[in-house]
Chains A and B, each alone.
Chain A
Amino acid sequence: MSHDPDDNPHVPAPSLWPIGFAIGLACILVGLVVSWPAVVVGAVLAIAFGVLWIRDVARSHAPVETHAEEGLSPTGEPGAELGAAEGEHLETYGRAGFLTLATIGVGGVIGAGVTLPSLGFAVLPSFSGKAADPTTEVDLGPLENFPEGQYVIANFLEDPALGEVSRRTAYVRYNGLAQNGEPSFTTVFSRCVHLGCPVQPNGPTFEDKVVKYKDVTLTPVQPAGFGCPCHGGAYDTEGNRTAGPPVRSLDRYEFSIVNGNVVLGKLFSVGTVEGTGAGAKISRYRRAYPGVHVDGPEKWLYPIPVPGS
């Protein structure tokens, strides 16, 4: 068998243009985040190299000029030449062409009419409405339940309507009054900022001093820092990373005092914390997903925060 396909594989000739094309695309993607001029440069590169690439491919597949018709004749249809001759009399865009396009067009419209709403229904609810803007206000109970300088493990339901799936834990410490005379709290969220496992306080809990307020349980604890059981992330008592894979400090809750009760609000992310307790300086950012940078150049890689922050 002289035409065994195994004998002559159809592989494209080696070419450098795809690499230039890929660099152009990468430049566009980086530019979309970093700067618009880079997008223009990337687009020019991608178009230029893309055209060169297409030109090369087209050239290597160009028909052999004079032998094309004769070469086909052994396998080609006997009517091929007849068809070519008739082609001169045929309209280039006739009724058949119109009907073909109309069928494809109407089919496309019907298909889009069915597909697009379904796709939108599958994707958009995650990005709109209550899912994208959850209201979180959790009443932790009266101020007196929080001894000064003592961490308590606050265990509560973020949204009782959702049930147990919204159970959250925060490490809350009353720092006494800040310089402006307002009560100061350190409210560390228990989810590790590596990949979201619950961090543990590396110290004794005092089960005999547990305080309950409605659905909230407050367990005093003496943490020597926070540690994550999953991949060994470690934090100090302010939530700053001391070891392991996390890329920022532990997230915190906003808090306010309403009628003498401590109320937790939205979560936010923290770059670093300088100082401790009431005098701490916190570099605050909108809440990012765990494992995501909030400062440094890497933050440009993550365009949206966690919804509702």
Chain B
Amino acid sequence: MAKSTRRRQLETAALYPLDWVEERTGLVGGVKFFLFRRVPRDINWMQTLGSATLTAFLVQAITGVVLAMYYKPDPDKAYASIDYITNDVTLGWLVRGMHKWGASVFIILMFFHMARTFLFGAYKYPREINWVIGVLLLVMGMAEGFTGYLLPWDQTAYWATVVGINLNATAPFAGPFLAQFLQGGAAIGPDALSKFYSFHMLVIPGGIMALIGLHMYLVIRLGVTSPPWSKVEAGRARPEAEASGTREGLIPDPAQGEGH
């Protein structure tokens, strides 16, 4: 049944802004490339654990930003500000609860995601680098947990951090230096709290976001793996990158000799 002219006109008018943006940015094509990827036919729910982990991280990022509006990283005020967030600020109990419990969810999902990758053999060629990036993300996630635990500045937080820093100090050679850097001197003091706060909300999340970007780039480039029992070929057809071919133009190819 052919659409009426009027209806087609309306549709064109409604979609015009999208065309306008696409013509100037190519963003629509980019989003299509990003979202509408070919995946193996027999993919299963286990392969959504990565997206679930990403979602958990986004929840931590958003709730963390909001909590930072009310939290005060000062030894005299930190606990009081947590108390204020939990008991006085409207919906503070909810957002703090999401951040606190979401932290555990994030770590647990990372482990499930890692287990899926390991058991499906999805860490093998050509995805080794993505496994390494994933391990770095796990380490940085743990560092988020360690630095965030101090911030409530109660007895649990303080003594857990004492033990955590002293654990670091037992590492050979670098240990004592690391401990002294973390506690900002001879013992945990005011500098330690603001240092942990800075690491918790600026340094480590920045690193995590950068690594997630790389992680996603490689997932999109290399495609999603089939389950091990699959008979279907995995991934999209990749550009044929010779091991030494595509570096031409970035650095001289030694095989071509000098002056190329």
Contact = CB atoms under 8 A, between A and B. Distances in A.
Contacts of A59: none
B90 to A, nearest CB: 30
A126 B75 contact: no
A: interface residue count bin = 35 or more
A305 B176 CA distance: 7
B237 interface: yes
Given A9-B126, A230-B163, A304-B177, A63 B260 contact: no
A191 B159 CA distance: 11
B31 interface: no
B173 A306 contact: no
A123 B195 CA distance: 11
A291 B173 contact: no
B189 A307 contact: no
Interface in A133-161: 134, 158
Interface residues of B, number: 44
B176 A75 contact: no
Contacts of B256: 68, 84
B179 to A, nearest CB: 6
Contacts of B245: 72, 75
Contacts of B188: 165
A302 B175 contact: yes
A292 B169 contact: yes
Contacts of A3: 240
Nearest to A293: B170
Contacts, number: 125
Interface in A187-203: 191, 195-198
Contacts of B14: none
A158 B185 CA distance: 14
Interface string B171-197: 011011101110111111111000000
B173 A29 contact: yes
Contacts of A162: 75, 189-190
B244 interface: yes
A10 B175 contact: no
Contacts of B169: 289-292, 302
A196 B125 contact: no
A204 interface: no
Contact of B172 (A68, A195, A302): A302
A10 B241 CA distance: 11
Nearest to A231: B163
Contacts of B183: 126
A95 interface: no
B3 interface: no
Given A131-B184, A131-B191, A195 B167 contact: yes
A207 interface: no
B91 to A, nearest CB: 30
Nearest to A90: B259
Given A196-B163, A290-B169, A84 B260 contact: yes
Contacts of B162: 191, 195-197
B166 interface: yes
A33 interface: yes
Interface string B244-256: 1100000000111
A214 B241 CA distance: 76
Residue with the greatest number of chain A CB neighbours at <10 A, chosen from B165, B169, B184, B243:
B169
Contact of B185 (A72, A288, A307): A307
A105 interface: no
Interface string B210-245: 000000000000000000000000100110110111
B176 A5 contact: no
B11 interface: no
B44 to A, nearest CB: 21
A293 B260 CA distance: 58
A305 B175 CA distance: 11
Given A61-B244, A289-B169, A292-B175, A92 B191 contact: no
Given A195-B166, A196-B162, A196-B163, A132 B172 contact: no
B163 A197 contact: yes
A196 B166 contact: yes
B167 A291 contact: yes
A258 interface: no
B183 to A, nearest CB: 8
A112 interface: no
A87 B259 contact: yes
B23 interface: no
Given A84-B260, A195-B167, 17 more contacts: A29-B173, A75-B245, A92-B258, A92-B259, A123-B181, A126-B181, A131-B186, A131-B191, A162-B190, A163-B76, A195-B162, A195-B166, A289-B166, A302-B173, A302-B175, A304-B180, A307-B185
Complex A-B, nearest 8 residue pairs according to Cβ-Cβ distance, in ascending order = A131-B185, A63-B255, A289-B169, A301-B172, A9-B125, A291-B170, A87-B259, A196-B166
8 contacts: A75-B245, A126-B183, A127-B181, A162-B75, A230-B163, A289-B176, A301-B173, A309-B186
Interface of A: 1, 3, 5-6, 9-11, 29, 33, 61, 63, 68, 72, 75, 83-84, 87-88, 90, 92, 123, 125-127, 130-132, 134, 158, 162-166, 191, 195-198, 230, 288-292, 301-309
